[in-house]
Amino acid sequence: MTLLEKCFPKLRGGVHPEGRKELSAECPIRPMPLSRRLYLPLQQHIGAPATTLVNIGDQVLKGQLIAAAQGNVSAPVHAPTSGLITALGDHVSPHPSGLPVATITLESDGKDEWIATECCDDPFTLEPEVIAARVAAAGIVGLGGATFPAALKLNLSRNSGVQILIINGGECEPYLTCDDRIMRERATEIVAGIRLIALAVAATKVLIGIEDNKPEAIAAMQAATHDTQVSVVVMPSMYPMGSEKQIIQVLTGREIPAGGRPADIGVLVHNVATAFAVQQAIFLGRPLISRLVTISGGAIKTPCNVEALIGTPVQELIDLAGGYAEPVARMVLGGPMMGQQIIRTDVPVIKGTSGILALTAAEIGQSDSSPCIRCSTCVRACPIGLLPLEMAAHIRATDLAGAVTLGLRDCISCGSCSYVCPAHIPLVHFFNYAKGELAAQERSKLKQEATKKLAEARTERIERIERERAEAMAKRKAAREAKARAAQEEAEKAAEQTATETT
Amino acid sequence: MNILTHSPHAHARVSIHKVMITVMAALAPATLFSFWLYGWPAVNLWSVSLISAILAEALVLRLQERAVRPALMDGSGILTAWLLALSLPPYAPWWIAALGSVFAVVIGKQIFGGLGQNVFNPAMAARVMLLISFPLEITTWVPPAPPGSPQAQGILESLRITFFSQPLDGMASASLLGHVKTEFTRGIGVEQALAGHFAPLDALWGSRAGSLGETAALLLLVGGLFLIARRIITWQAPVAMLLGVAIPALIFNHIDGNHYAGPLLHLLSGGLMLGAFFIITDPVTSPNTPLGQFIFGLGCGLLTWIIRTWGAYPEGVAFAVLLMNAFTPLIDMYFKPRIYGRDRKGTALPVNKGA
């Protein structure tokens, strides 16, 4: 890092996509009518899927644990409402593939009856370990979209000593306004959650980063953080400001070492919605069973922000927003820059679903790609300092090693390069393909090594058995021979004796 | 709706076609001014260049069994021919323009694999080919003859000049740099040679003998600044090229003013403005990092000045650009941006938990 970069920390590269936040920013959070059927995938987080604790026909209460975390990196799933478990099995996943995934189907009984919850009168006296344990039990994951189990991050950070806690209120993805709304309407709860997180990791400095295109949210958060150690920092609006690496760079001037974690430089980053979920879990004992979702896009009739139960089918949210006003060219879960296209709307809202976008053809601006003219617009847009055009050329020539040397592993897949490419080359697609290919190669290498080890062990075992058998045979043979010799000697002796006796 | 597409699901409103159109728009003022300055022969030459480039590109694409329309529509071939036309003497015969355009598009670009694949700037490659093969035709300059002046040519006259190689007796004139060079070889110093020949204001407006479009330094500068403002090109390469010419010119002119021309003459003459803003900013043949572009521009400028000062040719922009094009892959290899979380050498930054 040069001295200049240290003195004036700022985002390198980046792009200015059309915000389109005005579509839904002024719409207050709407409650969602109770859905008849909820679909709860066992995997809504990074890590191992949860294991089912219920059976078909079980009656469950709102907030009841229905699937437990499994392994070190995992998160439990709770019933978002009271009702009957009607199916355990595959349901279409909220993923571009639309492949079926293991899902618990819950039929609501309409009573929405809470399980007995454990409230906490003075949460700020809790031990850090207890806070982390309750966050884990509540099934809280990173709600910014990464869905990494939150408690795990708390424990890792506490163990490695974190000084700075950054709360991400950037929301740099176009269209999305759910973080904006939660900051405007639930600032007090968020700040309480932030203080709990700070307590859990013993952070000495807490910064909330908010982009300057959300003045109301900034004002609300500033009012709520008055008289606390928490400070609000206004950041310029630019994509990808809300990416972990970038927000750390802008707010602290530090950079995460390549291949490392924020904890390596004494920083922990959590999203504002995650802080709210932590407050709900510790103060009210409520697990993560709902989240804010922005329903927007040029094809949606009345774009809005709703608080939806996890497991609600996407189609019901679209219906709540009045359905479509224009032909839909593409349905996207998440933001337009990094979100995933879906082809069916019967998929459920999961913990990581920040937005549902129905985009028109004009909005997506799709066009056939033409040859690269090396204009290096992508180089100037890359917030990491990579050479997207060179990396794509290597990947096109199936030279993955070359792409890795150019920094493929440092790519954060933010999509800035694809967004600005005048030739409409799907650069990020190349990079994600290559990353997948590398992962597959590594897996197959590990598998080969394991197979080789097993084969070696087998050969050794067979040899050992052969050897032992040969030894045993030799021993037996020797014994037999000795016996035979003894018998012969005996016979000879006897014969001799007989001979002497007869003579 | 059922075709799966990777994110991002939004795109900036840009395309190669739009980029090329913007560059053409930036070239238009200087081109129109040159039409006014040199009259109908200039229009003829420009048209022949563009038409032959389009026909040649279409034919080559057909031979390669590639789709003709999209490749022609990107506008890169037309732009190449346009730039070439601007670098030609206005009264040059038609076959100079046609041959140059065909060479630029076919040998300069398509043989390498089409747009984005060529190593050398096609327009400059064609110009150098013409200069070496037809030195007479390509260095026969005429003084400006705007409408109303006694030398102004009518349409019929212009057709005779362009298409029937009417001799230009009594009209030929030397370009400024050529004049200085010739006089110098006759033992006449720069200051004396320039007396009565160089007025910076005329040079700025282009009222002197020279190529079709390269004389209007001011209009080319305005076009270049427009492209920088529209973020089609970056400032690094043009500024570096101007510095690369101006700095040595300033130093040497200071040491021996009678032997070396000053920076103003260098900056405002020949193809420097055209080269700095429109030729070396060609993305395909220039480096892809800001620092690399600066070094590339500086090299182009220095070589231009060296060739102009000590070379056999009075003008050196085209040679300088081709030489630096050959260095582009090398510059790209050595000047890469620093990757986030790594130092310049590519090793990960140290873990630093301390405040």
Q: Reduce the DSSP state of residue A252 to 3 states and report it.
A: helix
Of B160, B60, B72, B159, nearest to B113 by C-alpha is B60
Indicate which of B2, B6, B228 best probes the interface with A, i.e. most A CBs within 10 Å of its own CB: B6
Element (H, E) at A129: helix A128-137
Looking at chain A, the whole-number percentage of residues with pLDDT higher than 90 is 85
Q: What is the pLDDT of residues B192-230, one digit of tens each?
A: 766 666 666 666 666 667 777 666 788 999 999 999 999
Q: Quick one: pLDDT at residue A31?
A: 93
pLDDT at B169: 56
Contact A15/B12, CB-based, under 8 Å? yes
Which has the minimum average pLDDT: A436-445, B157-166, B232-241? B157-166
In whole angstroms, give the CA distance from residue B211 to residue A167.
Answer: 61
Q: B2 or A127: whose pLDDT is higher?
A: A127
Please name the helix (run of DSSP H) or strand (run of DSSP E) that holds residue A465, with its range, or none: helix A427-502
Q: In the prediction, which pLDDT does B311 show?
A: 87
CB within 8 Å: A379 and B337: yes
CB contact under 8 Å between B10 and A336, yes or no, is: yes
What the block records as the tokens of A284 is 């009210």
The Cα A475–Cα A477 span in angstroms is 5
Residues of chain A with Cβ-Cβ distance to B350 below 8 Å are 257
Measured between alpha carbons, how far is A256 from B340 in angstroms, rounded to an integer? 8
DSSP-derived pairing of the beta strands A330-333 and A37-41: unpaired
Residues of B in contact with A359 (CB under 8 A): 9-10
B2, B15, B353: residue with CB nearest A264: B353
Average pLDDT over chain A reads 93
pLDDT at B355 over 50: no
pLDDT tens profile B256-267: 888 888 888 888
Give the mean model confidence (pLDDT) for residues A111-140: 91
Of the candidates B5, B16, B332, the beta carbon closest to that of A370 is on: B16
The SS3 of residue A220 is helix
The whole-angstrom separation of Cα B252 and Cα B265 is 13
Residue closest to B270 by CA, chosen among B239, B291, B241: B241
Place of tokens 């920040």: A354
Report the pLDDT averaged over residues B232-240. Answer: 95
Closest of A195, A297, A179 to residue A241, by C-alpha = A179
- A406, with CB counted inside 10 A (0-12, 13-18, 19+), is buried
Of A373, A377, A415, the CB nearest to B116: A373
Q: Which helix (H) or strand (E) holds A307?
A: strand A304-309
Q: Which of B1, B3, B4, B7 best probes binding to A when mutated, by most A CB atoms within 10 angstroms?
A: B7
| Pairing between β-strand A164-169 and β-strand A205-211 as defined by DSSP bridges | parallel
For residue A391, give Cα distances in angstroms to A405, A434, A441, A457, B116. Answer: 9, 10, 18, 41, 15
B325 Cα distance to chain centroid? 13
At B198 the pLDDT is 66
Q: Which of B284, B338, B353 sits opposite A265 (nearest CB)?
A: B353
On whether any CB of chain B is under 8 Å from the CB of A425, the answer is no
User: Would you state the pLDDT for residue B166?
Assistant: 63
A215-237: average pLDDT = 94
Starting from the edge strand earliest in sequence, which strands make up the sheet with A51-52, in order? A51-52, A65-68, A77-78
Check residues B214 and A53 and name the one with the higher pLDDT. A53
Quick one: average pLDDT of A168-195? 96
Please give the pLDDT value at position B1: 44
The CA dihedral of A296, A300, A306, A308, to the nearest 10 degrees, is -100
> Which chain A residue is nearest to residue B2, measuring alpha carbons?
A343
Is B306:B252 a contact under the CB 8 Å cutoff? Answer: no
Residue B13 scores a pLDDT above 80: yes
Token output for A369: 């790609």
How many Cβ atoms from other residues are within 10 Å of residue A159's Cβ? 10
Task: Say if residues B84 and B127 touch (Cβ distance below 8 Å).
Answer: yes
Task: Report DSSP state, residue A323.
Answer: -
Interface test with B, best of A376, A384, A404, A429 (most B CBs within 10 A): A376
Q: What SS3 string covers chain B? A: CCCCCCCCCCCCCCCHHHHHHHHHHHHHHHHHHHHHHHCHHHHHHHHHHHHHHHHHHHHHHHHCCCCHHHHHHCCHHHHHHHHHHHCCCCCCCHHHHHHHHHHHHHHCCHHHCCCCCCCCCHHHHHHHHHHHHCHHHHCCECCCCCCCCCCCCCHHHHHHHHHCCCCCCCCCECCHHHHHHHHHHCCCCHHHHHCCCCCHHHHHHCCCCCCCCCCCHHHHHHHHHHHHHCCCCCCHHHHHHHHHHHHHHHHHHHHCCCCCCCHHHHHHCCCHHHHHHHHCCCCCCCCCCHHHHHHHHHHHHHHHHHHHHHCCCCCCHHHHHHHHHHHHHHHHHHCCCCCCCECCCCCECCCCCCC
**Neighboring chain A residues of B294 at a CB cutoff of 8 Å:** none
Across the interface, of B6, B234, B337, the residue whose CB is closest to A426 is: B6
Task: Decide: helix, strand or coil at residue B44.
Answer: helix
Q: Where are the beta strands (DSSP E) in B91-230?
A: none
DSSP 8-state class, residue B173: B
**CB-based contact B326:B119 (threshold 8 Å):** yes
Residue from B93, B24, B85, B91 nearest B53 by CA: B85
> Which residues on A lie below 8 Å from B114 (Cβ)?
371
Q: In this complex, how many residue pairs, one in chain A and one in chain B, have their CB atoms less than 8 Å apart?
A: 181
Query: B288 and A379 in contact by Cβ < 8 A?
Result: yes
Residue A128, pLDDT above cutoff 80: yes
A355-359/A290-296 β-pairing: parallel
Centre a 10 Å sphere on the Cβ of residue B230 and count the other Cβ atoms it contains.
13
Cα–Cα distance measured from residue A281 to residue A456, given in angstroms and rounded to the nearest whole number: 52
Question: Of B14, B332, B348, which is closest to A260 when you measure between CB atoms?
Answer: B348
pLDDT (average), residues B24-45: 90
The encoded tokens of residue B180 equal 């200085």
Report CA dihedral (B115, B119, B122, B123) to the nearest 10 degrees.
130
For B203-228, letters b (16+ CB in 10 Å) and e give bbbbbbbbbbbbbbbbbbbebbebbb
First to last CA, chain A: 114
- Reference B279, options B220, B335, B230; nearest CA is B220
Residue A1 binned pLDDT confidence (cut-offs 50, 70, 90): very low
Task: Decide if A371 and B353 are in contact by the 8 Å CB cutoff.
Answer: no
Which sign, positive or negative, has the C-alpha torsion A289, A294, A297, A301?
positive
* Residues of A in Cβ contact (< 8 Å) with B19: 373, 375, 422
DSSP states of B101-120: HHIIIIITTGGGTSTTT-SS
What secondary structure letter does DSSP report for A105?
E
Cβ atoms of A95 and A68 within 8 Å: the answer is no
Residue from the list A331, A386, A415 with its beta carbon closest to the beta carbon of B7 = A415
Whether residue B101 has pLDDT greater than 80: yes
User: In the structure encoding, which two tokens stand for residue B320, read together?
Assistant: 């300088």
Are A265 and A254 in contact, with CB atoms under 8 Å apart?
A: yes
* DSSP conformation class of A325: S
- Tell me which amino acid residue A61 is: L
Contact A364 B11 (CB under 8 A): yes
Q: How far apart are CA A194 and CA A178, in angstroms?
A: 18
pLDDT of residue A151: 94
Chain A: residue whose CA lies nearest to B13:
A365
Judge: B348–A258 Cβ closer than 8 Å, yes or no. yes
Note the helical H segments in A83-147: 128-137
* Closest chain B residue by Cα to residue A160: B353
Residues of chain B in contact with residue A93, where contact means CB-CB under 8 angstroms, are none
Distance from C-alpha of B275 to C-alpha of B285, rounded to nearest angstrom: 13
Burial B53-89 (b: 16+ CB within 10 A, else e): bbebbbebbeeeeeeeeebbebbbbbbbbbbbbbbbb
For residue range A22-48, list pLDDT tens digits in order.
Answer: 999 999 999 999 999 999 999 999 999
User: For chain B, what percent of residues have pLDDT higher than 70?
Assistant: 88
Average pLDDT over residues A156-181: 94
Using one digit for the tens of pLDDT, what is the confidence trace for B51-94?
A: 999 999 999 999 999 888 888 888 999 999 999 999 998 888 99
Verify whether the Cβ–Cβ distance A341 to B340 is below 8 Å: no
Measured CA to CA, the distance from residue A169 to residue A214 in angstroms comes to 9
The sheet carrying A304-309 orders its strands as: A30-31, A304-309, A290-296, A355-359, A330-333, A340-342
**Is the CB of A363 less than 8 angstroms away from the CB of B354?**
no
- Distance (Å) from the C-alpha of residue B51 to the closest C-alpha of chain A? 23
For residue B248 the two structure tokens come to 């040595």
Return the DSSP state at A162. Answer: -
Structure tokens that stand for B203 in this block: 């040079």
Average pLDDT of the residues in A315-339: 95
Cβ contact A432–B6 (<8 Å) = yes
> Across the strands, what pairs with B258?
none
Bridge-based pairing of strands A164-169 and A267-271 is parallel
Q: Pull the structure tokens for residue A231.
A: 């400070």
Q: How far apart are CA B227 and CA B28, in angstroms?
A: 12
Q: How confident is the model at residue A231 (pLDDT cuts 50, 70, 90)?
A: very high
Entry pTM: 0.88
For tokens 């909005």, the residue is A363
Tokens 């090329």 belong to residue: B20
Q: CB of A426 within 8 Å of any CB in chain B? A: yes
Q: How far is A329 from chain B (nearest CA, A)?
A: 6
Q: Which residue of A has its CA nearest to B70?
A: A370
User: Quick one: pLDDT band at residue A192, thresholds 50, 70, 90?
Assistant: very high
- Does the model's ipTM exceed the 0.90 cut? no
Q: Are A359 and A328 in contact (CB under 8 A)?
A: yes
For chain B, say whether A336 makes contact (Cβ under 8 Å). Answer: yes
